Structure formats: structure tokens, C-alpha cells
Structure 1
């Protein structure tokens, strides 16, 4: 993949919370960098050499620094990108599955997001002010996404009606963060049990 340079186009790049127009090839580079960074951070930690990330993405180090001048810019972009992907999955799941199944599948998708984020924990909990806006962004994206699925499940009689999306997110995150050495399959089973328990006391509306 060749290095991309920024120029006006329809594609948009989120860089440190600010949008800039980017070319299609630069957009591809950006997507590759975010995926590579997530993988490298998961295996080598957030202090991994930037060249390792650039090499895995198939771009030059200069491209990485052009998009992300500071390491914190890259970490923020990785987290926001994963939040967006998880939140956006709610729309797709709601269109493809019955309400209860859509809710269950999204909770498992959310669990995958939480477990993938473990490699970034050292940075996100470091107290660095660069990451202060991420919790608000999490609420902004995740709560409406889950609330829509939850409302659909409640209306269909697939979930009880006294649960708030914010509560369910906290429960899912806690189950997914029980320990670094947890078996992902076991965590997913616990999440499935959590969702199954939400069916107790459910009533079909209307």
C-alpha cells in the first residue's frame, strides 16, 4: 500500500476529534492503521514501536505520523473507531434479526469490544487528559444504540421493561473485565446468561 496524502474529497477523517477531508487512498491507509494498531496494542501493549504498527498496516512511518502526530492521537482514534463499529452494529442487527436475538447478538459484540480494549487499558487509565473525552463519547454512542435494541426487545416480550441501557452496559462491561486471563468463551457464556435472565418477567406490550 502506498502512502496517502491529505486532499479534499468526500471521505472524512477523524483525527484527534476533528474531521478533515481525505483522499480515498488516505482513507484506506487510515483504516489499515487503526486495525493494525488495535492488533499490535493487544499483543505488544500501547508502548509498541510505531514502526511495528506501520509495517503491519503496510504503510510508511511518515503516513502514521501524518494521521497521528502523538501516540495518544492514535490510541484515541482506535478506541473511537471501535466504539463506532460496535454502536453501528446495532442498526444492522436490528434489521437482520428478531428483537430478542438482535439484543443478544449486540451484547456479545459489545463484549468483544470490551475484551479487545484491554490492550489499551494502561493508557486509558493513566490519567492523561488526552483521553478525558472518551467516556462521554462512549455514552453518546453506546447508550442510544443499546437503548433502541432494548426497547425493541421489551416491546416484543423478549426482555423485561425495568432495565436501562446504561445499567446493562455496566453489567456487560463488568462481566467482560473480570480478569485478563479469563477465557473469552466463558465470558461470552456469562453474557448470554445475563441476556437470558432479562427475559424473566417480560411482557408483550400492546
Structure 2
């Protein structure tokens, strides 16, 4: 092997190692504090310069697209799949609302995705599209079954979850027990007559 080929191989190995370190650091940072974490902090955690993030991923949008699957998309799809596996229309809707609110509480990146903080990130738009589809589906089936207030629409569900994202991102974080109690109040408020006690 020539010296040039060996040097090139070493450079590629360094580049891959840097990219992996950046990805791991970004996943940890975004999971803990959302997608707006300063890139300087991600770079420091990865042991690289901020310029390296731009060189490897093109900046924040490219980095989000590279890691959003592990940060929040896999979990969101899991919620959607489990929701669709539930037979009872009300239980299906209640599970979805509870699971999404739980995700919002635990994962700040879920709120950033819902608020479309970075509208140029195609991966975030895909998350919003998937959530919008199941919102429509759940509301249509639940209203047809009479388990949901007749006047409650998919836009209302979107607004409730969107407002929750705003409150969690910009407001005072509630205690978990208070937060869960309010999820129960929300569900009681949208329940149709056939499911009221």
C-alpha cells in the first residue's frame, strides 16, 4: 500500500469517527434539552470544533435530519403503531393522547418538531405529517363511534397538543403528577356522551 493510500484511509477513519462522535453528542443533547441546543455545546461534547459539524453535516438542519430518527421519530412511530392496534375507539384515542403528552413531557425535541422550530428540516415535517394523519384518523373514527364530542375536530386535537408544546417549551414545567392529572381532565372534556359515566 502506498503512503498516500494509507494517509487517505486514515483521514476517512478520522472523518467517520468525528461524525459518529457528533451524532452521539447530538442525540444526547437533543433528547435532554431539545433541538435548539447550541451547536458549540454539541461540538464540545463530541470533542470537535463547531466547524467540523458544518463540514460533516452542513449545519444544524443536516444534523437534525441525521439524528431525529433516534431522538424522537422511532418512538413516535411506535406510539402510532400501538395506537392503531387498539380495537376500542375511545381506548385508542385515550391511549394516543396520553402517550403523545407523555412524549412531549419527556422529550423536548418532540415539542420542537410539533412547533416546526426548524421548518427547513424535512425530517421534522415528516413527523408532523405522520402525526397529522393519525389525528385525522382517530377523530373521524371516534366521532363516528359516538365516543367523542361531536363538535370536537382534528384541528382541536392539533391545537391542544400544539399549545401543550408551547407551554412545555416556554413556560414553567409542571410537576409530573399535576401534568398527568390534566391529561385526565383533557380526556374527560372531549369524551362523548356514550362514554360518560
Aligned to 1:117: 108
Structure 1 unaligned blocks of 5 or more: 6-27, 56-60
2:90 aligns with one of 89, 97, 100: 100
User: Matches of residues 134-173 of structure 1 in structure 2 within 5 Å?
Assistant: 137=126, 139-173=128-162
* Corresponding residue number in structure 2 for 1:25: none
TM-score by length of 2: 0.59
**Max radius of gyration: which structure?**
2
SS in 2 for 1:49: helix
Q: Which whole-Å CA distance do the structure 1 matches of 2:84 and 2:110 have between them?
A: 29
* 1:171 Cα offset (Å): 1.2
Matched pairs, number? 166
- What is the aligned partner in structure 2 of residue 21 from structure 1? none
**Which of the two has greater helix per residue?**
2
Question: 1:143 is paired with a residue of what secondary structure?
Answer: helix
- Post-superposition CA distance 1:72-99 (Å, at most 9, x none): 3223555576256425522322214522
For the residue of structure 1 that corresponds to 2:100, the secondary structure is helix
Classify the secondary structure of the residue corresponding to 1:177: helix
Could you report, residue by residue, the CA deviation over 1:145-188 in whole angstroms, capped at 9, with x for unpaired residues?
A: 12222233233332123222222121123235332332233223
CA deviations over 1:42-97 (Å, ceiling 9, x no partner): 5x934423352x48xxxxx9x97786331232235555762564255223222145
Structure 2: which 5+ residue stretches go unaligned? Answer: 1-11, 13-19
Question: Of 26, 33, 38, which residue of structure 2 is paired with 1:41?
Answer: 33
Taking the aligned partners of 1:171 and 1:151, their CA distance within structure 2 comes to 17
Change (3 A) 1:29 1:46: closer
